[in-house]
Chain A
Amino acid sequence: MNGPRVSPTRGLTAIDGAMALIVLLLVVQMWLLSATLDAYLAGHGDAALPGAVISGVLFLACGGLCLFVIRLEKLRRVGGAVDSGSSP
């Protein structure tokens, strides 16, 4: 064995959890964008800066989760969890 093993089932569960979290963050980001746009069109330009900062933080969180998913998949490959030739 040349690395940590990741069981296919647990790996998929972790990835599904990460994806669910990303979707949740996306919904928050969409709401944030619409609220900031509405405030901007109403003349409240001071909401733009906190909106952009929070949106950036949410994007970084999504990026982190994406990297987590990619890393998990790589771990599974390199680690040799290869008993995956059959269908579920």
Chain B
Amino acid sequence: MKPEKPTETSPDQGAGTGDRPLWREEFSIYKADERYVSRRQLTKFLTLTSLAMFAGNAWILVKSWLRSRVTYPERAIARAGEIPVDGVKLFEYPGPEDQCILVRTSEDRYVAFSQKCTHLSCAVYYSPAHHRIECPCHEGYFSIEDGSVLQGPPTRPLPRVVLERRGTDLVAIRMEAEREAR
């Protein structure tokens, strides 16, 4: 014999759909109801996941707007001739936690890049033997000329620090993104 569905409820049982209390909608004794409830709950979960995706996109939009307003300080990072050819100097730019690497590639040419690998943020180093910047974690190689990816898992080039020579000082002016560097 099939159990009959309740038709009456007391006022203190909550506001459910129709004549049933809310808790009975969520915890039904009927198997068919349970199929609906589980689907409805999964649908709500999926919709919340969709909301999270949208929130992520909105966060990127906000960060993008904030980044476009960033002004870079001008800072002397080294003196010309301070490091030998194929020599390296580490410095922080633009913030104290942003490690960068300055390389003297020839007698009068200096290049500087962020020291964070664009793959998983390992610290990259300069390899004079291969004349390239290397990441020791996953063997990602970057060109010393423009920081572009030569090999390995990184897909983006190293952000470049724009340098200007003022007298004997090498001054960092700003960071360059991939699009500007190319």
A residues near B (Cβ < 8 Å) are 8, 11-12, 15-16, 18-19, 22-23, 25-26, 29-30, 32-33, 36-38, 40-45, 48-49, 51-52, 55-56, 58-59, 62-63, 65-66, 69-70, 73-74, 76-78, 82, 84-88
Per DSSP, chain A at the interface is: helix
Contact between A85 and B32, CB atoms less than 8 A apart = yes
Query: CB of B60 within 8 A of chain A?
Result: yes
CA distance A7 to B64 in the complex (A): 50
Q: 1/0 contact trace for B10-47 toward A, CB 8 Å? A: 00000001101000010000111101100110111011
B residues near A (Cβ < 8 Å) are 2-3, 5, 17-18, 20, 25, 30-33, 35-36, 39-40, 42-44, 46-47, 49-51, 53-54, 56-58, 60-61, 63-65, 67-68, 118, 155-156, 159, 177-180
Residues of A within 8 A of B156 (CB): 38, 41-42
Known: A26-B46, A26-B49, A86-B32. 11 other contacts (CB 8 A): A22-B43, A33-B60, A42-B156, A43-B159, A52-B58, A52-B60, A56-B54, A58-B53, A65-B47, A69-B43, A87-B31
12 contacts between A and B (CB under 8 A): A19-B42, A42-B178, A51-B60, A52-B57, A52-B58, A55-B57, A56-B54, A69-B40, A73-B40, A77-B18, A82-B5, A88-B31
Per DSSP, chain B at the interface is: helix
Contact between A26 and B60, CB atoms less than 8 A apart = no
Contact between A29 and B43, CB atoms less than 8 A apart = no
CA distance A61 to B128 in the complex (A): 55
